[in-house]
Amino acid sequence: MPHVIASPCIGVKDQACTEVCPVECIYDGGEQFFIHPDECIDCGACVPACPVSAIFPEEDVPEGEQEFIVKNRVHFGL
């Protein structure tokens, strides 16, 4: 999974990340957005576009936010 959206997105869902994603792999998951791990090309365009700094490469997801790696996979049935 190249990138993960963590808790700062909850309730915000600004959509700036969806607008810059060249492969449209960011989906609305209700209270937050999720990045489809099989569709993401790991370009990183979404990272600076996020106004709440909620997007991280999987290996850089902050401590305390690790549950969002699992939450993202579960959302897509992976």
Which residues of 6-57 form beta strands (DSSP E)? 26-28, 33-35, 55-57
28-54 confidence digits (pLDDT tens): 999 999 999 999 999 999 999 999 999
Torsions phi, psi of 66, nearest 5? -60, -30
When pLDDT is cut at 50, 70 and 90, the band that residue 67 belongs to is: very high
pTM of the model: 0.92
Task: Supply the range of the domain harboring residue 51.
Answer: 3-75
Question: What CATH number does residue 26 fall under?
Answer: 3.30.70.20
Torsions phi, psi of 43, nearest 5? -80, -25
- The answer to whether residue 17 scores a pLDDT higher than 80 is yes
Number of folded domains that form the chain = 1
Q: Which DSSP symbol is given to 23?
A: T
